[in-house]
Amino acid sequence: MTGQDFLDGQLLLIDKPLEWTSFQVVNKVRWLIRKQFGFKKIKVGHAGTLDPLASGLLLICTGKFTKRITEFQAQHKEYTGTFTLGATRPSFDMETEIDQEFDLSGLTEAAIEAATQQFQGTITQYPPIFSAVKQDGKRLYELARKGQQTEIKPREVDILHFSLSRIALPEVDFTVQCTKGTYIRSLANDFGKALDNGAYLSALRRTKIGDYSVEDAMGITAFEDYISSL
């Protein structure tokens, strides 16, 4: 592959590591391409953000393929991960501290399995207050970190598949296939409410975007080795 190939447009499948932002991955890929081929600049962007506390598939577009980002963003996503029951956190994930705890003794596996049925098909969910969703020109997380209250507007999303693969309280492992804009953190919080309990997202990995799989993706180090060999 040549530098011109990257300018003409490439779709790169990157396995984003934990604690990296999607923006950091884009910057790293851009820097590696510029360094290898001596470019002053090249367009690089991602087709769908992953939170720092999530790992998995990130689609990176280079050159002319950045015009196709919206097309890739619109494709269905698949995630695997873990909900932790018996508590809630304001961010709905591990970013913030536990603010409420619940008794798990009354929960049965049958009830937990049955609760998944409420989250099939088109559902309404509220984005987390700690999210990048814009409302009145401001990012919700900016308001949250300032302690400002705001009324969050709900949105409709489609859950194409939602199943549990392990129940070992307080942890529940899941697989979700969903449309663009679905917040798995919100799904965790709502799942806890459906059980008259609490839940937050304690692990998340994006495994697929459309027909693209994380199994075919390269880690950052592998991509660095690959591009330096060109």
List residues with catalytic annotation: 51
Closest CA relative to residue 4, chosen from 53, 54, 51, 38: 38
Asked if omega into 127 is within 30° of 0 (cis), the reply is no
DSSP state of 98: -
**Distance set, CA 136 to CA 17, 49, 150, 153 (Å):** 32, 21, 10, 11
Distance CA 103, CA 40 (A): 58
DSSP state of 152: P
Is 184 in contact with 81 (CB distance < 8 Å)? yes
DSSP state of 169: T
Compute the residue count for the chain: 230
Q: Which residues contact 140 (CB under 8 A, 6 or more apart)?
A: 127, 128, 129, 130, 131, 132, 133, 134, 150, 152
Number of neighbouring beta carbons within 10 Å of residue 206: 24
